[in-house]
């Protein structure tokens, strides 16, 4: 007879391991099923050819000093999280932009964003949910263009917002812009990377009795008379009184209709399809030494298009020339250990365009583009490189959720809907996509894992008292 667990946690990302640890610490029997052959989910720490471990998914504890619960977890497990120190930033088009103009672009974008959020919160009647953020940011009256004759330049600079948003400005709903009350201000990076920290959480859960099975994908979640039955691709069947599902929203979009028996309610299925998963990829290039300009003091370069987009790009280098990128330089003293590595943050438009090229082609083009853009006569060969593929990864199918996108009926309540329990409380849901104020972040995943662990404990208590 199969063992009856108190809880089966599906997924060993942030939300799953936090929930498992909390439940096992409280004395409950827990089984974690993870489809990947590693822990972490969208927390992936990469080391091959790198000078130090580099996080390819979640990278920072945002709002470290402002209350992010991941800070307490890092401290509990003795993992040092280094707070990022301010460094210089430069804006480049064909060459380095004069600082007065770069400062004006930054100020204008800040004013335009503040104006849009004020309109979203104060307009009566409020903006329609179908109105995109771009309509206000790029309007003729927008502060974005104040004292800047070149409007294309200002628009290109505003595209940097598409990196944290995970979606183009034309899809982002103006009505809900700035709605979240999330952690922001200071950022911190855990030494050894996020997978190292997650591993410590799992080790603690195992000491309290949690079982973890890697490389075992869930194929069916079925309500049973005594709880929930979970079947995997290994032909295994597990039973538990409760299940916490932390499957990423991108994957649920593909399999939610067939994964659950009985099927999820129509409203839940509609919300899953209507809530947006964003696109954000990373290209990391490591070198034997820092060869780019002002490497010892500039921590971030904003690289604006130097070539007008005309039809489909013919090669990967054209994608780099035609789009806006944020380039992080780890040679600057942002963190305690400097190393000659750069990281491209690749937003939706260039990410989709680069998918037609191989990772090596993209890495080669990214390197050649930087040599060209920075105007250096020569540069060393890469010692390592890696390009993420979160959008096409079958176990992710996207980076993280975005703010509410344009569309009738869409709004932040969608995230709350995704976190509601079903089947009388025996089927629970966690993950960044279930937290209205903290979607798309480590904080959202951690908070949701803690939330569902508490919910399950109350449900199990009710069962024991029945």
| pLDDT tens readout for residues 259-302 | 999 999 999 999 999 999 999 999 999 999 999 999 999 999 99
| C-alpha distances in Å from residue 295, one per residue of 127, 299, 328 | 44, 8, 10
Q: How many Å apart are CA 117 and CA 104, to the nearest integer?
A: 20
What's the first-to-final CA gap in the chain, in angstroms? 24
445 neighbors 13 (Cβ within 8 angstroms): yes
Q: Which of 179-183, 210-214, 405-409 has the highest mean pLDDT?
A: 210-214
Alpha carbon of residue 443 to chain centroid: 11
Give the pLDDT of residue 466.
Answer: 78
Alpha carbon of residue 218 to chain centroid: 23
The model's pLDDT over 111-136, given as tens digits with 9 standing for 90+, comes to: 999 999 999 999 999 999 999 999 99
Q: How confident is the model at residue 314 (pLDDT cuts 50, 70, 90)?
A: confident
Let me know the angle formed at the C-alpha of 463 by 444 and 69, rounded to the nearest 5 degrees: 20
Instruction: Give the whole-number percent of the chain exceeding pLDDT 90.
Output: 95
Lowest mean pLDDT among 237-241, 312-316, 422-426: 312-316
Pairing of strands 88-92, 54-55: unpaired
Q: Is 102 helix (H, G, I), strand (E, B) or coil?
A: helix
State the average pLDDT for the chain: 96
In this predicted structure, the answer to whether residue 1 has a pLDDT above a threshold of 70 is no
446 neighbors 437 (Cβ within 8 angstroms): no
**CATH class for the region spanning 88-185+281-387:** alpha beta
Q: Where are the domains of the chain?
A: 4-46+56-83+191-277+400-465, 88-185+281-387
What is the full DSSP assignment across 170-215?
TTBBGGGTT------S-EEEETT-HHHHHHHHHHHHHHTT-EEEES
Q: How many Å apart are CA 154 and CA 152, to the nearest integer?
A: 5
320 neighbors 366 (Cβ within 8 angstroms): yes
For domain 4-46+56-83+191-277+400-465, the CATH architecture is 3-Layer(bba) Sandwich (3.50)
217 neighbors 11 (Cβ within 8 angstroms): no
| C-alpha distances in Å from residue 395, one per residue of 46, 392, 421, 449 | 18, 9, 23, 19
Give the pLDDT of residue 313.
Answer: 85
Q: How many Å apart are CA 454 and CA 21, to the nearest integer?
A: 12
Q: How confident is the model at residue 309 (pLDDT cuts 50, 70, 90)?
A: confident
The dihedral over CA atoms of 219, 221, 226, 227, expressed in degrees to the nearest 10, equals 120
Instruction: Fill in the DSSP letter of residue 424.
Output: G
Give the pLDDT of residue 237.
Answer: 92
The model's pLDDT over 363-382, given as tens digits with 9 standing for 90+, comes to: 999 999 999 999 998 899 99
The model's pLDDT over 221-255, given as tens digits with 9 standing for 90+, comes to: 999 988 999 999 998 899 999 999 999 999 999 99
């Amino acid at each position: 007879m199969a063992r009856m667990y108190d809880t089966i946690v599906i997924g060993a990302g942030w939300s799953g391991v936090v929930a498992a640890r909390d439940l096992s610490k409280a004395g409950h029997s827990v089984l974690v099923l993870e489809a990947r052959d590693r822990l972490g989910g969208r927390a992936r720490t990469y080391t091959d050819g790198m000078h130090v471990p580099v996080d390819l998914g979640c990278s920072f504890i945002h709002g470290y000093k402002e209350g992010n619960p991941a800070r307490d977890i890092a401290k509990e497990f003795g993992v040092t999280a280094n707070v990022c120190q301010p460094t210089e930033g430069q804006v480049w088009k064909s060459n380095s932009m004069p600082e007065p103009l770069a400062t004006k672009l930054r100020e204008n974008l800040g004013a335009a964003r503040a104006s849009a959020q004020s309109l979203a919160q104060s307009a009566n009647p409020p903006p329609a949910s179908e109105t995109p953020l771009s309509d206000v940011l790029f309007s003729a009256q927008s502060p974005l263009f104040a004292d800047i004759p070149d409007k294309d330049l200002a628009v290109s600079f505003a595209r940097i917002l598409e990196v944290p948003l995970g979606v183009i400005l034309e899809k982002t709903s103006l009505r809900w812009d700035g709605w979240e009350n999330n952690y922001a201000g200071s950022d911190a990076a855990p030494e050894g990377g996020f997978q190292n920290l997650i591993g410590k959480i799992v080790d603690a859960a195992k000491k309290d009795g949690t079982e973890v099975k890697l490389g075992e994908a869930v194929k069916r979640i079925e309500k049973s008379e005594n709880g929930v039955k979970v079947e995997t691709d290994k032909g295994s069947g597990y039973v538990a009184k409760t299940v916490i599902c932390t499957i990423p929203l991108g994957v649920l979009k593909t399999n939610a209709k067939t994964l659950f028996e009985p099927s999820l309610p129509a409203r839940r299925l509609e919300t899953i399809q209507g809530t947006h998963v964003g696109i954000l990829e990373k290209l990391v290039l490591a070198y034997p030494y820092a060869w780019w300009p002002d490497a010892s003091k500039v921590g971030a370069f904003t690289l604006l298009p130097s070539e007008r987009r005309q039809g489909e790009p013919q090669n990967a280098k054209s994608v780099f020339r035609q789009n806006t990128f944020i380039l992080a330089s780890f040679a600057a003293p942002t963190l305690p250990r400097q190393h000659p590595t750069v990281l491209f943050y690749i937003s939706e438009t260039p990410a989709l365009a680069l998918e037609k090229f191989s990772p090596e082609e993209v890495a080669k083009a990214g390197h050649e583009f930087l040599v060209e853009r920075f105007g250096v006569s020569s540069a060393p060969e890469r010692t390592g490189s890696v390009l993420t593929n979160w959008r096409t990864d079958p176990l992710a199918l996207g980076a993280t959720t975005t703010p509410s996108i344009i569309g009738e009926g869409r709004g932040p309540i969608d995230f709350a809907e995704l976190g509601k329990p079903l089947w009388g409380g025996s089927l629970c849901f966690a993950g960044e996509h279930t937290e209205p104020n903290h979607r798309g972040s480590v904080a959202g995943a951690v908070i949701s894992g803690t939330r569902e662990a508490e919910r399950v404990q109350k449900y199990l208590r009710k069962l024991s008292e029945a």
